[in-house]
Amino acid sequence: MTNYPFLKYLQYIFLPAILAGILYGAGSEFHNIAWGTGSWLGGYSSRWFLLFSIFIFLCLSLFISSIFFTWQPERFANFSPRLVFIRNQLKSMRWLIAILVIGFPVWFLQYSMWGIVFQGPFIRALIWIAVVLVFAILASQGDTLLGWEEILGGFILTASAFSIAVSLQSVSDYPFSLGWSEGNRLWDYSTLFGKHLYDYPPDDNIYVLLDSGRLLIGGLPFLLPGLTIQMARLWVGLILVIPYFLIGIAAFRTRNGTNRLWPFMILWLFLFLKQGPIHSPLVIAAALTILVWGRSLWISIPIIIYAGYFAQMSRFTWLFAPGLWIGMLELAGVSLLNGKLGRTHWVRAIALGASGVFGGYLLPKLLPLLNRPAMDVAGIGEQIASSGLNPEFVTNAVSDQPLLWYRLLPNSTYGTGILLGLAIAVLPVIILLVWLSAAKKWPLNIWQKLAIVTPLLAFLVVGLIASTKIGGGGDLHNLDMFLIGLAFTAVIAWYHGGREVILNPNQLPVWMKIVVIAALVLPAVIPWRQMRSHQFGEEASTLMVLTDAPDEKSLDLLPSDEKVEHALVKIRDAVAVAKENGEVLFLDQRQLLTFGYVTDVPLVSEYEKKVLMNEALSANAEYFQPFYKDLAAHRFSLIISERLFTPIKDSSFEFGEENNAWVTWVANPLLCYYQEESTLKDVGVQLFVPRETPADCQLP
């Protein structure tokens, strides 16, 4: 009872104040939209003044109702049973209504033009809260109007819907690149199973800057004949969603198939890990790892060996991850006997951890030896020691590109900075886990605590260093191993006391309820803000009025079909002329070749945009010498590129150092020997042809 004054203060003052702030902010945002639509009353049109008036009336009604409900709940004593009666009378129909309610914000914000208009955080927050409350009322059972589990379910479902919608946001038949490397990445995926799409020697390899795991997963659709760019983008969107679900399915359904909550826990794992985001090969390796948790060693050992091998094959920094994860799960994920771990637990953890390390570290060294002549034992030992991962390789991998430590703090490339961004992403979960352990709700001995903390600290250090490397630091994806390890820790806690506590509101202090809700809400904040359409170019004039946009470009809409076709015709005509006089280099926009928008032109596989950028970040002068010679010799009669700009920027600009590397090693040298023939501003493409006289510039 000692907390009662605080709880009363929170209930009577803080919550109404927060609601008042949201409603006032939403009203201001609505006013900014409605004002300037006409001159019927000030800057209002008659229609928008009516809409604004209705909105303000609803906001005031909601606030007054919340005050009465908070301060004088007895006034609602008869109202609540009526709502419960109406809901129960709906029977199965209420579930259809609940589904429509959950889907409404996704349709409204991403698939209608209103998502472009209503981008303010307060209106979006009001929509989110309203949807969760309506869903929770519809989903609650019996005589309960608003259940705790149903509120949590509403937040999980809405947050997941936002994140899935944003993952599929790029599904479009737009032929040009939707991002800096998006189009060329589709080309990368095609090179494994779709080499026949190009005019290129079938026996020659095509080098792409992409790990083999991502190349395999991304390339699977190219086994289908007649693949379109929209279908390929759909697949890319799906692999941003489905692999995360595999972790949840392995973690929850297989261990407790009758638990009705496992779909919601799968969605939470998806939400939490999507904050990286995390590349799909590591997600699949993680799914394999947690799949074998607690299973027979005869099944688990070969699977964890493959998980380690697959992770290392995709990225060398991941080679120890499955071994450390399974060790954590096997030690911390078991019930104690008199406060101690049994001998069987230690044997399993060591055997599986060693198997994961074997698959990630030793197996990649041993497999190449199978194709070599027999050698003595000493020769095999030397071969293993000198191949694969070694200290010199690690040192070169870390030092070949600059480390930008300032990106750990708030900066122009990643607003919050890595440290604060990571804290926002994981702090609610860490607080919850620490509280469960400290309150003896989740019993752990010292060895289990070390099994959790030690690998998490190792993953954290590696991730923070990788995030400072030039070219990174724009999100949390380099903290992938840490995020997965923390998610596995949450799964362990869920099975060993956390489930009963979290789902029972009587066992949670008010502040812990807020922490639990924050753990569900924060992972979806970025997708919630990002949801919008890039279509509706035909409504550009209306949207400019409603959003107060200074020009059409600032709306970030895709160009019209007419403009797209004009750009394609321009490129096709230029290519048709140029290929008669030399080679045509698609430095960018290679997906135009992949999906047949430009045909009958031999592929020049080298000097792809991302490869050039990677070598520029490493200041690899040796790599660029052939490129500069080809430019000087006018090897290419036409170069298709993104628009090239040459200003040098400092760290106050987004990716300033990366821009400078590109300008120094690529843009300036190219412009020494080539000049702009035409610029297609609507689609962000420039065409370059050889200069008759090279410009007076110095190469790096």
The one-letter amino acid code at 406 reads: Y
Given a cut of 80, whether residue 14 has pLDDT beyond it is no
Q: How would you class 1 by CB atoms within 10 Å of its CB: exposed for 0-12, middle for 13-18, buried for 19 or more? A: exposed
**Residue 553 counted as domain residue:** no
543, 555 Cβ separation under 8 angstroms: yes
- The verdict on 519 and 646 lying in the same domain is no
Average pLDDT, the chain: 89
Residue in 489, 462, 441, 490 with CA at minimum distance from that of residue 328: 489
- 152-199 pLDDT tens trace: 999 999 999 999 999 999 999 999 999 999 999 999 999 999 999 999
Cα–Cα distance for residue pair 207/428, rounded to 1 Å: 43
CA separation, residue 626 to residues 184, 205, 453, 623 (Å): 22, 19, 49, 7
Mean pLDDT of 582-598: 97
Whether residues 461 and 575 share a domain: the answer is: no
The percent of residues above 90 in pLDDT, for the chain, comes to 70
Tens digits of residue pLDDT in 634-664: 999 999 999 999 898 888 888 889 999 999 9
- 258 and 400 share a domain? yes
The first and second tokens of residue 83, run together, are 């709502």
Task: Give the pLDDT score at 4.
Answer: 46
Question: What pLDDT shows up at residue 374?
Answer: 52
Q: What CA–CA distance (Å, rounded) separates 593 from 78?
A: 68
364: confidence class by pLDDT, cuts 50, 70, 90: confident
Distance of CA 161 to the CA centre of its chain: 14
Domain that holds residue 494: 241-371+378-528
Neighbouring C-beta atoms of residue 59, cutoff 10 Å = 19
Same domain, 583 and 611: yes
Q: How many domains does the chain have?
A: 3
Same domain, 160 and 204: no
- Of the candidates 250, 215, 206, 209, the one whose C-alpha atom is nearest the C-alpha of residue 236 is 215
Evaluate whether residue 117 is within a structural domain. Answer: yes
Claim to verify: residue 224 and residue 102 sit in the same structural domain: no
SS3 583: strand
- Phi and psi at residue 371, in whole multiples of 5°? -100, 10
pLDDT at 399: 56
Domain match, 497 and 457 both: yes
Q: Which helix (H) or strand (E) holds 49?
A: helix 46-71
162 and 193 together in one domain = no
Measure the CA–CA gap between 546 and 540, rounded to whole angstroms. Answer: 10
**Amino acid residing at 96:** L
Output the pLDDT for position 380. 47
Residue 486 lies in a domain: yes
Domain co-membership, 344 together with 256: yes
**CB–CB of 333/294 below 8 Å?**
yes
pLDDT over 60 at 54, yes or no: yes
In this structure, are 245 and 280 located in the same domain?
yes
